[in-house]
Chain A
Amino acid sequence: MAWQHKDLLGLRGLSKQEIELILDTAAPMKDIIGRDIKKVPTLRGKSVVCLFYEASTRTRTSFELSGKFMSADTVNIAASSSSVVKGESLIDTGKTLDAMGTDIIVIRHAASGAPHLLAKHVKARVINAGDGAHEHPTQGLLDMYTIKERKGRLEGLTVTILGDVLHSRVARSNIWGLRTMGAEVRVCGPSTLLPPELAATGVQAFTCIEEALEGADVVNVLRLQLERQKKGLFPTIREYARQFGLNQERLKRCKSDVLVLHPGPMNRGVEIADDVADADFAAIEEQVTNGVAVRMAILYLMMGGSGSGAVH
């Protein structure tokens, strides 16, 4: 099968076959990252603009390197140093990039839905690199790739997503993606950080970490987004760490071959203990490598084989 969408805005609505296509394509891409010469000519002459309205190291660098490894021309725009500070609208910025012949715009924005708005107004293909508290599809895909690589499958696994689910676009993309692939998803956090609409997504919600970890195959620890905690949704960071921090003792409730993930950057000693983050059963650095592979796969699928019949 071929990629049939103009844009990648979220994992909600993607079919199992489409997710499998991306994950299968990422495997040979990972080989390229391991080579001495990390470059293939696949996207020569194509241009990728990373338009980041929020600070980011790993996602932006990951997209930039994936483009470069495939010989695309990549450009980074940080909103703080662009015409955005002069009051240019998102749509006008998009149209300007379009007029310069941009093939793919990778956008991160603090407002949920911003990539969808952009996608409607530009000819370039749009990839959502995180929009507000909505979705972060490439993170969801790299998490699934890492789980599949370590566990050999996604179907039938129990995945516990731990932490600030309310503000987490990573959690939402994980929930949609993992559910589509047949995994059982649990979420756990303080009740003030669990969104009320969760029930409709078919996941089990827990406020007791011990219950949520019981028999889990995978624990995906979310970053406590300190910059979004201005409303007093939990008393103190120390109390959060005591109630919901993942440590070795709590991990004993999971399956013996548990896999621990974290999208980074980590608040060590808050949501995750040091000795958990650095253990063999954690794949946090591997997630970063896999992120490049998955993004290369997406760029390939969006640009390769896009003859007249492939896109609607």
Chain B
Amino acid sequence: MKLLNKALLMDDDAIRRAITRIAHEILEKNEGIENLALVGIRRRGVPLAKRLQEKIQEIEGTTVPLGALDITLYRDDLTTLDVQPVIHKTEVPFSLNGKKVVLVDDVLYTGRTVRAALDALIDIGRPQVIQLAVLIDRGHRELPIRADYVGKNVPTSKREVISVRVMEVDGEDGVSIQDMVD
């Protein structure tokens, strides 16, 4: 199966503006940074969470704690996959107890990744509240999950693929939509 580029949805400026807006929304909704923490879902959620942390630091002058979550061990489809996922480390170097945690990921699709991330977070500690921030919401939910903060809503068909690229992982920033071609 090949992928055919269809359109560029966001360039680096658009991503930067989305991050800035989400940072403001997080601060507004939580009335500041008290007890706030950011946790990115590996892999591309982590650099996005880092950028949100930097933006919040810029606005408020204080750094909020940042963690990285690997959800491989919490997936419900491990034994049906042909390719074995490599497990990376979960690094949450602070207590989650009583925190307002903003979970950060690149794309929200079926909701299964977020469900797994919620399980993983709850095994590490007991946050006061968990909110969800995503760069792209492409729809097609299979679970009752919705994001609190969305960079861009993109209605898609299931034959389309959303490709998020971030500088820290892919060497460039951009979001594009691709078609699956048999």
Do A and B actually bind?
yes
* Interface residues in chain A, defined as those with a beta carbon under 8 Å from any beta carbon in chain B: 2-3, 24-25, 27-29, 31-32, 35, 37, 39-42, 46, 70, 300-301, 303-310
Query: In terms of DSSP, what is the predominant structure of the interface of chain B?
Result: loop
Tell me, yes or no, whether B88 is within 8 Å of chain A by CB: yes
CA distance A46 to B80 in the complex (A): 13
Whole-angstrom distance from the CB of B142 to the nearest CB of chain A? 18
Q: Assess whether A28 is in contact with B90, with CB atoms less than 8 Å apart.
A: yes
Q: Assess whether B73 is in contact with A40, with CB atoms less than 8 Å apart.
A: yes
**Given A2-B83, A300-B87, A306-B79, also A37-B123 (CB < 8 A):** yes
Query: B73: which A residues are within 8 A, CB to CB?
Result: 28, 32, 40-42, 70, 300
Tell me, yes or no, whether B84 is within 8 Å of chain A by CB: yes
Query: A308: which B residues are within 8 A, CB to CB?
Result: 82
Tell me, yes or no, whether B119 is within 8 Å of chain A by CB: yes
Query: In terms of DSSP, what is the predominant structure of the interface of chain A?
Result: loop
Tell me, yes or no, whether B145 is within 8 Å of chain A by CB: no
**A-B contacts at CB below 8 angstroms, number:** 65
**Given A25-B87, A28-B88, A310-B84, also A303-B79 (CB < 8 A):** yes
What are 5 A-to-B residue pairs whose CB atoms are below 8 Å?
A3-B84, A28-B70, A35-B124, A304-B78, A304-B79
Whole-angstrom distance from the CB of B15 to the nearest CB of chain A? 29
Tell me, yes or no, whether B2 is within 8 Å of chain A by CB: no
Whole-angstrom distance from the CB of B31 to the nearest CB of chain A? 30
Tell me, yes or no, whether B159 is within 8 Å of chain A by CB: no
**Residue from B85, B87, B120 having most chain A Cβ neighbours under 10 A:** B87
Whole-angstrom distance from the CB of B28 to the nearest CB of chain A? 33
CB interface residues, B 68-92, toward A, < 8 Å: 70, 73-76, 78-90
- Least CB separation from B116: chain A residue: A41
Query: B120: which A residues are within 8 A, CB to CB?
Result: 40
Q: Assess whether B74 is in contact with A40, with CB atoms less than 8 Å apart.
A: yes
- Among B84, B88, B90, B123, the residue within 8 A (CB) of A304 is B84
Whole-angstrom distance from the CB of A206 to the nearest CB of chain B? 40
**Given A35-B124, A39-B123, A40-B123, also A305-B90 (CB < 8 A):** no
CA distance A41 to B76 in the complex (A): 8
- Least CB separation from B85: chain A residue: A305
Query: A28: which B residues are within 8 A, CB to CB?
Result: 70, 73, 87-90
CA distance A243 to B89 in the complex (A): 45
Whole-angstrom distance from the CB of A44 to the nearest CB of chain B? 8
- Least CB separation from B87: chain A residue: A28
CB interface residues, B 137-165, toward A, < 8 Å: none
If A304-B79, A307-B81 are given as contacts, then 15 extra A-B residue pairs at C-beta distance below 8 Å, sorted by A number, are: A25-B87, A28-B88, A28-B90, A29-B87, A32-B73, A37-B123, A37-B124, A40-B123, A303-B78, A304-B84, A305-B78, A305-B84, A306-B84, A310-B82, A310-B84
